[in-house]
Amino acid sequence: MTISPFDKNLDKVKANYVPLTPVSFLQRSAHVYPNLTSVIYEERCFTWKETFERCRRFASFLDQYGIRRGDTVAVMLPNVPAMVESHFSIPMIGAIIHAINIRLDAASIAFQLDHGGAKVLLVDPEFADLIREAIALLSGPKPLIVDVRDNHFSSAAIGDIDYETALVPGDPAFAWHHPNDEWDAIALSYTSGTTGDPKGVVTHYRGAYLSAVSTILAGNLGQHPVYLWTLPMFHCNGWCFPWTLAAAAGINVCLRKVEPTRIFELIKQHGVTHTCGAPIVYNMLINAPDTFERNAARGVVGLIAGAAPPVAVLEGAESIGIKLTHVYGLTEVYGPASVCAEQPGWDELPAAERAKMKSRQGVPYHLQTPSRS
């Protein structure tokens, strides 16, 4: 017998393979940890079982409405539960999540909605006026608008239906599907378009799956991290963290607005273990008045992205107890793809030297596939 890589049994396996999809992480956590907390937002709190059911309900709503594989569903949402849920409900039917940068103007939003061909758009009340303006500028068909209401932000409804209302008739046991192919598109994001119009970036299920897992290793998240959403979820799908937290059965602590007092409060209240952000977020925390409960941040691990962070930021974060890990990436690679992997012995270095080391070294994420060469 010859064991050939082209053995016909392997061909059979390959023809019947189950595509990788990050939705399976949600399925697993709902099955394994049904009663553990998945998402917290102000006074609202969901378990993994509930989140899975809510996602299936919304997926069935989208399906009923006629959304099919390859269709685009856009979201204009801050870091609220519906934003976490969209990262699962939309891929559950093979549709593509298009998360819009909430800081854009109406013209840019209209361009993206037209270009991406969104058939549905979820809108937070904070952006109701802006979206009304953007819709008026569309040249293509108008998407179905779904209002995501919020007790903490009142505004007139602009939508065709409200999110919670759409969930009610939805099927909590909806038979979500795997993609036909793990290379199918899962998400559409637009880069800022420094030259001309924004450029669309299409990512796939396989990459989202592998990146989500890779983050657990690079950030040493372990099981059940408590994650504070200081990073906007529209930004490269929140660096894949909605999927990462489902894989690690962690807690999504939602946050509408990056604001130091509230951040320190939430860290203390929920025992936050991890957070992500740009240097400006950490600068805000470092420079918060001493009256804030800055000690609450002691022990939090913060991933910080962008160019090498200034030593002052690294040292400053340490002074309030936050341990920063520098990462770097881009939209095209699902967010961060390189990390400053701490070396044994660094903890014994003086803070300034350690900060220097931390701001210089960058190595690939664990599951970052090297080139063939």
Q: Residues 56, 286: contact at Cβ < 8 Å?
A: no
Binding a copy of itself by CB under 8 A: which of 27, 51, 230, 244?
Answer: 27
Three-class DSSP category at 5: coil
| Per CB under 8 A, 178 contacts a copy of itself | yes
Is the Cβ of residue 177 or residue 323 nearer to a copy of itself in the bound state?
A: 177
**Under 8 Å CB-to-CB from 194, ≥6 apart: which residues?**
none
| Per CB under 8 A, 185 contacts a copy of itself | yes
Q: Cα separation of 373 and 370, whole Å?
A: 8
C-alpha torsion 75→82→129→131, nearest 10:
10
To the nearest whole angstrom, how small is the minimum distance from the Cβ of residue 266 to a copy of itself? 20
Pattern 112-151, binding to a copy of itself, x per CB under 8 A? ---xxx----------------------------------
| Per CB under 8 A, 179 contacts a copy of itself | yes
DSSP state for residue 36 in the 8-state scheme:
S
Q: Cα separation of 40 and 42, whole Å?
A: 6
Candidate ranges 2-10, 290-298, 315-323, 348-356; the one touching a copy of itself (CB under 8 A): 2-10
Q: Cα separation of 222 and 18, whole Å?
A: 26
**Taking CB under 8 A as the criterion, which residues in 67-96 touch a copy of itself?**
69-70, 72, 94, 96
Pattern 222-251, binding to a copy of itself, x per CB under 8 A? xxx----------------------xx---
**Under 8 Å CB-to-CB from 57, ≥6 apart: which residues?**
89, 166, 167, 168, 170, 171, 172, 174
The candidate with the shortest Cα–Cα distance to 92, out of 186, 189, 166, is 186
Binding a copy of itself by CB under 8 A: which of 36, 138, 311, 357?
Answer: 36
Binding a copy of itself by CB under 8 A: which of 202, 284, 333, 349?
Answer: 202
Binding a copy of itself by CB under 8 A: which of 138, 341, 349, 357?
Answer: 341
To the nearest whole angstrom, how small is the minimum distance from the Cβ of residue 73 to a copy of itself? 11
To the nearest whole angstrom, how small is the minimum distance from the Cβ of residue 368 to a copy of itself? 8
**Under 8 Å CB-to-CB from 49, ≥6 apart: which residues?**
30, 34, 35
Vertex 308 angle, CA 223 and 210, to 5° = 35
Q: Cα separation of 266 and 43, whole Å?
A: 12
C-alpha torsion 6→9→14→18, nearest 10:
-160
Q: Residues 52, 85: contact at Cβ < 8 Å?
A: no
To the nearest whole angstrom, how small is the minimum distance from the Cβ of residue 271 to a copy of itself? 13
Is the Cβ of residue 30 or residue 304 nearer to a copy of itself in the bound state?
A: 30
Pattern 262-301, binding to a copy of itself, x per CB under 8 A? ----------------------------------------
Query: Contact residues for a copy of itself (CB under 8 A)?
Result: 1-7, 9-10, 13-14, 17-18, 20, 24-25, 27-28, 31-33, 36, 69-70, 72, 94, 96, 115-117, 177-181, 183-185, 188, 200, 202, 204, 213, 216-217, 220, 222-224, 247-248, 341, 343-344, 363-364, 366-367, 369-372
